[in-house]
Amino acid sequence: MQSDHRPEILLLNWRDTGHPEGGGSERYVERVAQGLAARGYRVTIQCSAYSGAASGEWVAGVRFRRRGRRLTVYPLALLSVLRGRPDVIVDVQNGMPFFARLVARCPVMVLVHHVHREQWRSAVGPWAGRLGWWIESWLAPKVHRKCRYIAVSEVTRGELAGLGVAEERTRVVPNGLDAVPRTRSGRSAEPSLVVVSRVVPHKRIEHAVDVLAGLGERWPGLRLDVVGTGWWLDKLREHAHARGVADRVVFHGWVDEQRKHEILARSWVHLCPSVKEGWGIAIVEAAAHGVPSVAYRAAGGVAESIVEGETGLLADDYAEFAAHAERLLAERGERLALGRAGQVRARGMHWDNTVAGFESALREVVSMPVPRRRGLR
């Protein structure tokens, strides 16, 4: 390989952050891609097209190539693999992998945020969900039996081991945290809850609405801010109406980063009732503002994004989830102590560390020249 060759990395992901259903896993992919580009790599993200998005563009040194929709993105990505000659392919397995390993002429790494056992049924129904889980839990590990994996948490690494992916084949490369902007918001005088999430069934934001309804008698001024949007939004609004708290839930929809952080900065407690998260970026973003989180212990990576009893609380069931939320609203001293510890921890989380770990993992699977660092374009 020529010494002046700039190694090429192709990341296959079904969405990007501009996609209406984009979220934390897409942000991880893009921050890593941008970091690798800044280190001198040629980086392409191939993902699905959507309304208003260009079919191809460069952003922060990364080439975006958008082809296909929810299902056709997969075969079109494989066609691009056949036509190109990258040095490494990163197959981002959001439940369904691209199976680039079947046609690639270079090493393939598989990036997994979390295992989707619980989500398949709610996302596509019982029959298709059973097929999806079979693909994820049995077929994908067989096809990728010689591939190295990247997981974003030790929890995910353990889940992959349960599917037959030996732990020594999986490198854990955790999330970083974007720089937190200055905010003008002070903590609200009235108690407030917040959820930052895509609005889809497996995020279970109904549980946050139920907490609000259950605590209304003790805290009549309590409100819930829901930051994010998704195809389940109308159902969630209906649930709020059914519980009699529609006037105390603010559905902000999509907001820009500044607005999101202003809402977090004024909140008292962040709730993450999701069935499963690979990590939980919103938990750490809330922590950066001194806002502790409550989440479910069984929800994957949240058990690492929250240090239980130090930066937030974990629950085993809904009753405990609601009790934890009530406890943090009532116990100001504990709430502030958890918030301070969370702020300290959040300061140590940088995307530079994530990119360095990812680059190291890439170099474990292929020998590439060390590229010269380049400024972002």
**Token representation of residue 122:** 């709610």
Rounded Cα distance between 70 and 241, Å, is 32
- 64, containing H or E segment: strand 62-66
Chosen CATH of 8-176+350-365 out of 3.40.50.2000, 3.90.76.10, 2.40.50.140, 1.10.3720.10? 3.40.50.2000
Write the burial class of residue 247 (CB in 10 Å: 0-12 exposed, 13-18 middle, 19+ buried): exposed
What pLDDT score does 370 carry? 65
Rounded Cα distance between 269 and 299, Å, is 18
Write the burial class of residue 1 (CB in 10 Å: 0-12 exposed, 13-18 middle, 19+ buried): exposed
Cβ pair 269, 193 in contact under 8 A:
yes
- 260, containing H or E segment: helix 257-266
Exposure class string for 174-205: b at 16+ Cβ within 10 A, else e: bbbbbebeebeeeeeeebbbbbbbbbbbbbbb
Side chain identity at 333, as an amino acid letter?
G
User: Which 3 state secondary structure label does DSSP give 372?
Assistant: coil
pLDDT (tens, 9 = 90+) of the chain, 377 residues, equals 344 468 999 999 999 999 988 888 899 999 999 999 999 999 999 999 999 999 999 999 999 999 999 889 999 999 999 999 999 999 999 999 999 999 999 999 999 999 988 788 877 888 899 999 999 999 999 999 999 999 999 999 999 999 999 999 999 999 999 999 999 989 999 999 999 999 999 999 999 999 999 999 999 999 999 999 999 999 999 999 999 999 999 999 999 999 999 999 999 999 999 999 888 899 999 999 999 999 999 998 899 999 999 999 999 999 999 999 999 999 999 999 999 999 999 999 999 999 999 999 999 888 766 666 654 43
Rounded Cα distance between 202 and 86, Å, is 35
What pLDDT score does 374 carry? 55
**Token representation of residue 312:** 């937030």
Rounded Cα distance between 277 and 24, Å, is 9
CATH 3.40.50.2000: which residues of the chain? 8-176+350-365, 192-347
- Return the number of other C-beta atoms located less than 10 Å from residue 360's C-beta: 11
Under CATH, which architecture does the 192-347 domain have? 3-Layer(aba) Sandwich (3.40)
Rounded Cα distance between 185 and 1, Å, is 54
First-to-last alpha carbon distance for the chain, in angstroms, is 25
Q: What is the pTM of this model?
A: 0.86
Instruction: Specify which residues 43 forms β-bridges with.
Output: 9, 62
Rounded Cα distance between 318 and 316, Å, is 7
- Return the number of other C-beta atoms located less than 10 Å from residue 58's C-beta: 12
Cβ pair 6, 371 in contact under 8 A:
yes
Cβ pair 345, 308 in contact under 8 A:
no
Task: Report angle CA 282, 196, 353 to the nearest 5 degrees.
Answer: 15
Report residue 308: phi and psi, to 5°: -60, 130
What pLDDT score does 21 carry? 84
What pLDDT score does 2 carry? 41
